A and B are shown apart, each in its own frame.
Chain A
């Protein structure tokens, strides 16, 4: 009798808990946000023009500039703001993203992608590129993308920030941020970012820039409120 009872109850319990957890993961009933902007203080060097040394016909259609430090009106672009460790909260959507090499330059310069999501790499240049990731956590990848291969799909499974370079075109460099949770944001020209629907709690927010390094800020998030976070990098 007793045994039969437990054999029914245990699966029922498991189902209930799983459902509850799923619901908890899926949506944040009451959450808070973090938003703000990343500023740059200091002299901004004039953007360096990149020299196109080969495949000029295909690659030198428009002028290219070094994007390792993009500042406009004191606002810093290409900064990844993320939280490495979040318990609960939103689920990773694993939405596909695109990395375009049009004109032999990576667009966007810093690409953010969910771990496990498809990255579609485009090659409209009618020229050979190769996508060489300098990753330490994910398996390093060096895939050729010959001109007849206009689209290439790849995936990165583990959270990491890695450099990506083309060995055919020495000037081509960019970054890929592989996110382990949906709480991340890449700044544009306005330097703004926002992380939304975070479960209430204290977080270590990481602010990464390829040249200026990483800053860590502690932020407390309360239900229904937006915590303000402004970050400044000095040059």
Chain B
């Protein structure tokens, strides 16, 4: 009877074929999966194996070469020979016999020592036991006497044994020492050979590192290449997940890029090659790859190792694909506060400079760039300043008037340009009229007097205008990204009239309290002459009632308000009624990680859909993505392609990333002070005149004939001058250090906080604590002031031959004079004076100050030059003690500088 549900035929069926085929498939799939897992998806193993092999082979070749070199080295060969001879002498002859004897003796002595030691040890343990018994008896209140006696007996035994042990120990030491002495010859030679074999050992180590030895000890062993393994760096808390929790980042790039931090593999192809400028970028002081990995700078998908595309993050939805070439610099700003001057960060530093100075921050907010002042001039009283027709033309196309202006081109149609001008004209009317009331046309203005114009021209070229302004086509001092940071005045008469210029020159802050234009402390005559000269630059406009009428039309004013607001003019200019306007552009704080989907490419199909292409083209041609439906407002800056790329590198680095402190570069107070100072220096264009931190001093090109008449370079200023002095001088530079210079340090009218920024900047740059100098004359060693005075005097160094001392001026033409040393006490840091006297050329190459040392006189302070320099410094610091007025009264009667000394002595 058939069982229910069971098919008897089925039972008889054979599944052999199916199982056979199945098992074959299983084997094949199994093999394939092993292959895939170990070969196809493990490209890094191939790379690593190749590198290991190359590494080993190169080391082996180098070792062979080194060995050859050693063999050819007669010193080495001699040593090897000596060693062989020495070894041979130990095996035979007198020494050999003695050595064999000693070795035998050593064995005996060892046994003797062991036995003696053992005996003592036994007694000691018996003593331990006896002490225990004794203590036990005492604790139980029993009679401890017998135990005590037992102890004493044992102690006597130990004492009796000890001399023998001591003798055995000594014998043992003696034998050892003698053996060592006999072998000393070999050891000495070995040491010398060791010293010569440093390179050999290095190659050997390299070979060892590339190999592993397998097989149990005592059996034949095999040396194989090291088995490739994942090279992984874990950066703790480096990343943040979607819940803003810190998570670690895993970086396995070095599994393929195994030679990245090894010198000498520059010739290998990627991924095995050495990192370019390895010693700069990968040093322990910079970014050691074992700590930082690679993705911190280069991005990519650090965990991925299966394929090149995956590892480099060139796959869909990976937001940070590999950065190559200059683009890597984008990431410098994530960890470095200051990229200016940072080696290898030149491109991003340039991008940053452009970003800060061309006006980007007027419309775009970026964290960390929020405080940058508006780059355009104030339009608060613009009606009092500009020619109306000029204004309309300027708004319509600024580069037509000044090809290198920072003001961008908005592609306004004429109606909009007129409207914008009308609004600005109307909005500034009230304040302009007030200003005009207080600023009448000056009397004595003689624009037709050729001598006056000539004097004005002389002044314009000498008093300091050239530090910032160009006066003719192509003349400039500070330029960035092809832009003049300060207007070129070659056509100034077409733009403004003499009345405005005159008052602007006399007191720029009266027209605009926030202007960066300083006062040159011009006298009335000087200002008039300068005005007359400037009015010869360009064509004066005719009064144009028609334009004024158009500007005053209410419809235009109303339309203008909309235009000015829409295009965000207030981002760069101070405009009455628009003080509260916010930035009209998109915030760019995280622009670098903006996904492609969020970038609008408009209808242009010629532009590749990548972040880089989008960004480049947006800056290159800001309206390129506009469509009939989508309006675009960004104006055209006309930047050179190279600079657009630099800007793009900076933008690429605008990503939201909270890097843990451990990975950040210097974010100290000092770094912050440098950043702040650098920005303020840019704003006021200090580098137009002064060399600061090795850059700038652009005005010096006008002084090639006589560089000593140029504004002084300020390298190392923080170390040189006293903070108090600089703080005061910056706020009021009326008493110049070098009164003979025609070029004047202008009065910028810095307030305390502004002056502080500079003082801190220079101190931070020189890595000095703000040097508040206190000189205590009481602490000057006896005789130093007198010695200093003698050295200073006309009998020795004749310092007064060039240096001014208050009212005491040197002979000869002023251009040969040197700074007033009566100011030194207030101004200079004594440590700096010492360094300066010791080697002036080192601190300021090319200076007129000669070096007196070495070469001091024999008869002062015993010819000790160090003491002489100290004495001179003490004396110079004491010079300033005498108030200038008193020096005048005493006049020439006193010995040069004597008054200071006397004063100092009185104080001391």
> CB within 8 Å of B: which residues of A?
53-56, 127-128, 130-132, 140-144, 146-149, 152, 167-170
Q: A128-B798, A142-B847, A144-B797 are in contact. Are A54 and B812 (CB under 8 A)?
A: yes
Q: Are B847 and A143 in contact (CB under 8 A)?
A: no
Q: What is the bound-complex CA distance between A141 and B801, given in angstroms? A: 20
Q: Are B848 and A132 in contact (CB under 8 A)?
A: yes
Q: What is the bound-complex CA distance between A170 and B812, given in angstroms? A: 9
Q: Are A144 and B852 in contact (CB under 8 A)?
A: yes
Q: Are A149 and B855 in contact (CB under 8 A)?
A: yes
Total of A-B residue pairs, C-beta within 8 Å = 67
Q: Are B852 and A53 in contact (CB under 8 A)?
A: no
Q: A140-B841, A140-B845 are in contact. Are A130 and B798 (CB under 8 A)?
A: no
B811 on interface, CB distance cutoff 8 Å: yes
Q: What is the bound-complex CA distance between A16 and B779, given in angstroms? A: 69
B82 on interface, CB distance cutoff 8 Å: no
B816 on interface, CB distance cutoff 8 Å: yes
Q: A127-B798, A146-B796, A168-B802 are in contact. Are A53 and B851 (CB under 8 A)?
A: no
Q: Are A146 and B816 in contact (CB under 8 A)?
A: no
Q: Which residues on A sit within 8 Å (CB–CB) of B816?
A: 53-54, 167-168, 170
Q: Are A148 and B841 in contact (CB under 8 A)?
A: no
B859 closest partner in A (C-beta): A148
Q: Are B855 and A168 in contact (CB under 8 A)?
A: no
A55's partner among B801, B815, B840 (CB-CB below 8 A) is B801
Q: Are A167 and B798 in contact (CB under 8 A)?
A: no
Taking the nearest CB of chain B, how far is it from the CB of A209, in angstroms?
20
Q: Which residues on A sit within 8 Å (CB–CB) of B796?
A: 146-148
A53 closest partner in B (C-beta): B812
Q: What is the bound-complex CA distance between A169 and B811, given in angstroms? A: 10
Taking the nearest CB of chain B, how far is it from the CB of A81, in angstroms?
29
Q: Which of B830-885 contact A (CB under 8 A)?
A: 840-841, 845-852, 855, 857
A142 closest partner in B (C-beta): B850
Taking the nearest CB of chain B, how far is it from the CB of A170, in angstroms?
5
Q: What is the bound-complex CA distance between A147 and B815, given in angstroms? A: 23
B849 closest partner in A (C-beta): A142
Q: What is the bound-complex CA distance between A172 and B162, given in angstroms? A: 93
Closest 5 CB pairs of A and B: A54-B812, A54-B811, A130-B850, A144-B850, A128-B798
Q: Which residues on B sit within 8 Å (CB–CB) of A54?
A: 801, 810-812, 816
B813 on interface, CB distance cutoff 8 Å: yes
Residue from the set B795, B816, B850 with the largest chain A CB neighbour count within 10 Å: B850
Q: Are B811 and A55 in contact (CB under 8 A)?
A: yes
Q: What is the bound-complex CA distance between A32 and B777, given in angstroms? A: 71
Taking the nearest CB of chain A, how far is it from the CB of B291, in angstroms?
42
Q: What is the bound-complex CA distance between A56 and B812, given in angstroms? A: 10
Q: Are A144 and B851 in contact (CB under 8 A)?
A: yes
Q: Which residues on B sit within 8 Å (CB–CB) of A127?
A: 798, 801
Q: Are A170 and B813 in contact (CB under 8 A)?
A: yes
B812 closest partner in A (C-beta): A54
Taking the nearest CB of chain B, how far is it from the CB of A42, in angstroms?
25
Q: Which residues on B sit within 8 Å (CB–CB) of A146?
A: 796-798, 852, 857
Q: Which residues on B sit within 8 Å (CB–CB) of A148?
A: 795-796, 857
Q: What is the bound-complex CA distance between A234 and B840, given in angstroms? A: 41
Q: What is the bound-complex CA distance between A169 and B812, given in angstroms? A: 8
16 A–B contacts from the bound complex (CB under 8 Å): A53-B816, A127-B798, A128-B798, A128-B801, A131-B850, A142-B850, A143-B850, A144-B797, A144-B850, A146-B797, A147-B796, A148-B796, A148-B857, A149-B855, A168-B798, A170-B812
Q: What is the bound-complex CA distance between A5 and B847, given in angstroms? A: 62
Task: Identify 17 new A-B residue pairs, CB closer than 8 A, beyond the known A56-B811, A141-B841, A168-B802.
Answer: A53-B813, A54-B811, A127-B798, A128-B798, A131-B850, A140-B846, A142-B849, A142-B850, A143-B851, A143-B855, A144-B852, A146-B796, A146-B857, A147-B798, A167-B848, A168-B801, A169-B812
Q: Which residues on A sit within 8 Å (CB–CB) of B849?
A: 142
Q: Which residues on A sit within 8 Å (CB–CB) of B847?
A: 142
Taking the nearest CB of chain A, how far is it from the CB of B56, in angstroms?
33
Taking the nearest CB of chain B, how far is it from the CB of A231, in angstroms?
29
Q: Which residues on B sit within 8 Å (CB–CB) of A143?
A: 850-851, 855
Q: What is the bound-complex CA distance between A139 and B802, given in angstroms? A: 24
Q: Which residues on A sit within 8 Å (CB–CB) of B801?
A: 54-55, 127-128, 168
